[in-house]
Structure formats: C-alpha cells, structure tokens
Amino acid sequence: MTHRPRVLMVSKACIVGIYQRKLEDIARLGVDLTVAVPPSWRDERGEQPLERVYTEGYRLEVLPIRRNGDFHLHTYVGLARLMREVKPDLVHIDEEPYNLASWQMLYDAQRVGARTVFFSWQNIARRYPPPFAWGEGWFLRSVDYGLMGTHSAAEVWEAKGYRGRWRVVPQFGTDPDLFAPAAQRPARPFTIGYFGRMVEEKGVFVLLDAVAGLAGEWRLVMLGGGPLRPELERRAQQLGVADRVRFIGQVASTEMPRLYHDIDALALPSLTRPNWKEQFGRVLVEAMCSGVPVVGSDSGAIPDVMGGAGVVVPEGNAEALRAAFAHLCDDPHHATRLAAQGRAHALAHYTHRAVAEASVQVYHEVLGGG
C-alpha cells in the first residue's frame, strides 16, 4: 500500500492503561490507528473503568456498550457509524469468534469494504448450540486472518474449520522499562505473590494449602478481586496463617510495576477444567520482566509462556508447589539465576514493541503489502 493503512481496532481489553503502550507502538510503525473501547468492562472482579494512560499518536474512541459484562452477548452502540467515519482499510477484531460483538464487527467491516483480522486465546474446542455455532461458522469462513495467542489456539480453530491464514502473536506484551527489576531487595520475609482473579480454577486454595506447610518466615500477598475472597480469608484463618496472608483489592494497572517489587516469587497454580485451562497468564510475563522468579502449574499455556525460565509443577499438587517455594527461599543463587533467565525470556518474546511489529506485519500482509 502506498498510503498509511487505516486500521480500526475494537477491543474491550484496551481499557487497561498499561496495555495501551502497544497501541502507541503500532501508530509509530506507520499505521493510522483508531481504537474503539467501551467506557468500562465488568467481570467477577468488579467493574474496570477505562484508564487513559498511553494515548499518543492514535485516536481512542469510547463507544457505549450493551450488556456490559456478558462475554457472549455484548455489543457496541455506534460502531457502524464509526466504521463509516473512519473508512478503515482493516478492522482488528480483538474478540473471540463465537461472540455477538465479533459478528457485529465483521458485518460492519464488510459493509465498508474493510479487510479483517481477529484475535483469539481460545485453547479448548468448545461446541456451541445454534445460533452461536452458526455465527461462529460464518465468522470463520468470512474473516481474513487470525492472530492466535498460542499454537493451541490455532489448533482449536483449525479443528473447528478455520482455513485462513494465521500467526501466533500475543495479544499484548509488556513494557521493559515500566516492568523492571528492583534496584535492591529490602530486608523482609520471603514473600510470594498471587496477582489475579480469586476463582477456584486459578488454584487459589491449592496455593493456601501449599504455603500453610512452608517452613521458616514467609508472607503471601493475594491481589485481585473475585467471588472467593471471603472464603479464602476464612480458609487462611482455618489454616492458622491469616497473619501471614495479605489480601489486596483491585488496583490501577499503573500500580502493578511497583507491586512486583514487593514480592520474591510469583505463583500461578491454575487448574484445568472441562471448559477452561490457562490461556496465557499475563502476570507471568510481567513478573519475569520485573526480575521476579515465577512458579506455575502445567495447566494450558503456562509452560510455553515460561519457556524454561520458571518452575513448572503439576497442577493441583500443593506439595510440589511448596517445594518450589522452599527451593527459591533457601537458595538465593537459584532464585537470582531464575530471575535473570525470566527477564531475558520476556525481553526476547514479550515486549509491546515486538507484539506491535508482528501485528503491523500481519496488517500489511492482509492488505497486500507484505
């Protein structure tokens, strides 16, 4: 293409401020970028409002959303109008193929003659009843290109009939300047962090059982929201470790880099369920970039994301999780080595700049310029 490609991305994920650095990087790479987001998004943790943090070089458009919090049935108000106004060459559908919002984006994109790219984390071949199965099938036949968060996501969509081009590109990277190792570690008990949703499939009860049997001085920080927090607090009391476990509610995304400096290891003990397994684990990348050793289960994409730069334990195994923490606590050289490996792995594979470059290469490929 001889002109700067006009790209419209529609993404509820981009309400998170630290994720917007990728958008600035895409714009710097010669893309005339407009990003449409809702004013907020609701899930089991509560309501996340739009954060305006990195907004230079592209247009950030807020569209009202219908059925906020309904993953499958939410849609955007005014999207067709925005499509007509922007006249995009390409629409980046940052949403799964089986959602009503995705169908809305694809339909509106076709009406203005735009090419289309979609993103997916889905790593389980779920089967849906009509009309979702019909809509998903139409979407897979009609969209031009797939950005897959992992190879397992690509396998799912190929098994479900997608025959188009695809490439593995994470949805977001991380900022290596914002997420950087602490200048020095203050004197404190060995501190484990869990940053995420407080739901059963994240292995949060396994984590409490693991630390409850951990010898020596230690602390656990559990940051996030979710329906199980009251039950987790009760469980900590029953295990006799409530004075060592600190619960923190949701914080702004810009506060996260500082919080990684307050921990000595990050835990992600996710549990595979019939309808879910870990799709990526963004906290792993942030922790590794921050020079924090990571310990995760073997659920879903966790081992691949770590890439040998973390400790993988069998999911649901509190004893193995406890042993991994004890090794990190008792062997500072091991912890330091793992932290360095994690930082190097994150810099090589998971920066916003790398994700932006890969995304823009796909845009040009779809539009015939590469």
How confident is the model at residue 369, as a pLDDT?
65
What's the DSSP call for residue 140?
H
Indicate whether 202 pLDDT > 90.
yes
What is the tens place of the pLDDT at every residue in 136-148?
Answer: 999 999 999 999 9
Q: What gap in Å lies between CA 367 and CA 115, rounded to an integer?
A: 7
Q: Tell me which CATH code domain 190-349 carries.
A: 3.40.50.2000
Indicate whether 212 pLDDT > 80.
yes
The whole-number average pLDDT for the span 241-253 is 95
What's the DSSP call for residue 244?
G
Q: Can you give the C-alpha Rg of the chain in angstroms?
A: 21
Indicate whether 1 pLDDT > 50.
no
First to last CA, the chain: 9
pTM of the model: 0.87
Residue for token digits 């962090």? Answer: 193
Q: What gap in Å lies between CA 321 and CA 265, rounded to an integer?
A: 12
What is the tens place of the pLDDT at every residue in 252-278?
Answer: 999 999 999 999 999 999 999 988 899
For 261, list phi and psi in degrees, rounded to 5.
-75, -10
What is the tens place of the pLDDT at every residue in 331-341?
Answer: 999 999 999 99
CB atoms within 10 A of CB 187: 4
| Topology agreement, domain 6-173+351-366 and domain 190-349 | yes
Q: What gap in Å lies between CA 202 and CA 171, rounded to an integer?
A: 20
Q: Which CATH superfamily is domain 6-173+351-366 in?
A: Glycogen Phosphorylase B; (3.40.50.2000)
Domain boundaries defined on the chain: 6-173+351-366, 190-349
- Beta bridge partners, 174, equal 351
